[in-house]
Structure 1
């Protein structure tokens, strides 16, 4: 069987898939090289090293996440947009744990994926008629709630014998209620 051709895009994609399997923190050049059936040194034709590879995986994950979140809110508003956004967020965190961990890897704040994720957050909030500084506070509430729940779920930290889906829906409903009544807070 011939070896898979190594290109920068194929290398980053394979590394992201591997991160989902073994964890972003466990991603090594040796593991990626093994996937391609080559020596570690062969990867340096396409990347500068592990730090470069991790940043590229982070950029890929942020772009994929931005695509999912942007699609989720497109054509929707208020509760419908919030539910779709939240579900896309949760699906990323639990379905792609390595990529999700990569989204917390330091990248420039003006990276396209970061910019598009922020835009998706603010697009969601437009339906709630929030202006600054309330919109920034709402984005922070939204992200910390969704991240906290998703991260705890992804790491198996919820142990109660109660439906996670039910708890998720209640959390999202609470966010909707809070956002819809923000000016009264």
Structure 2
């Protein structure tokens, strides 16, 4: 029996908000039900289990992040596109820490292939077209950017840069400048 007022979309939206408040790992059907003032069993008319909730939050986060990055890089190329991409990614992570963690949730191959993760890969490669990288260097560069952006944000949100100078923004700017230089001068042989 479906409880009046509950929907899958509404539960996922509430779950994403909850993830931002208490952390993605702590977001469970039981905690979501408690926040909504319903019994946990009421959620299972809309969600299969905890993994289903987490997967749906992850898909939502990937879609939101892809939309934000797409809007940021539209009409830009080269360093401007790189900076816009990076800043959209970082801003999303700082505004939505639980959703950002959800975007890194491991998806099964079929779900991943149908997710906005594919858009992220295409957008990253579009940014890299401004640097004229051929394969396999382009794939290496995609992995580098993902590692740097994700690593920086994870450290920043954990407070890793709050106790030393220079501030995180200055480091971020220097890192992006360094990435631009690296991408423009990427070696063509291994």
Q: Which band: TM-score by shorter chain?
A: over 0.9
| 1:117-164 deviations in Å (ceiling 9; x for gaps) | 101101111111111111001111111111111110011112213221
Secondary structure in 2 aligned to 1:112?
coil
> Following TM superposition, by how much is the alpha carbon of 1:184 offset from its aligned partner in structure 2, in angstroms?
6.7
Question: In 1, distance between residues paired with 2:49 and 2:101?
Answer: 19
Residue 145 of structure 2 is aligned to residue 138 of structure 1:
no
Equivalent of residue 111 in structure 1, options 86, 92, 114: 114
Aligned length: 183
Question: CA shift at 1:4, angstroms?
Answer: 8.6
Corresponding residue of 1:28: 28
What is the aligned partner in structure 2 of residue 46 from structure 1?
A: 46
Partner of 2:164: 160
Deviations 1:56-78 (A, max 9, x none): 00111111111111222111000
Question: Counterpart of 1:131 in 2: which secondary structure?
Answer: coil
TM, length-normalised to structure 2: 0.91
Aligned residue for 1:60? 60
Specify every segment of 5 or more residues in structure 1 that has no aligned partner in the other structure, as ranges.
none
Gaps of 5+ in 2: none
Deviation for aligned residue 1:12: 0.2
C-alpha deviation, 1:35, in angstroms: 2.5
Q: In structure 2, what is the Cα distance between the partners aligned to 1:16 and 1:42?
A: 18
Q: For the Cα contact (< 8 Å) 1:6–1:36, is it kept in 2?
A: no
Note the aligned Cα RMSD (angstroms): 1.6
Per the TM alignment, residue 34 of structure 1 is displaced from its structure 2 partner at its CA by 2.1
With 7-16 and 61-70 compared, the bigger mean Cα shift is at 61-70
**TM-score, normalised by the number of residues in structure 1:** 0.94
Check conservation: 1:19, 1:99, Cα contact below 8 A: yes
Following TM superposition, where does structure 1 have runs of at least 4 consecutive aligned residues deviating by more than 3 angstroms?
Answer: none
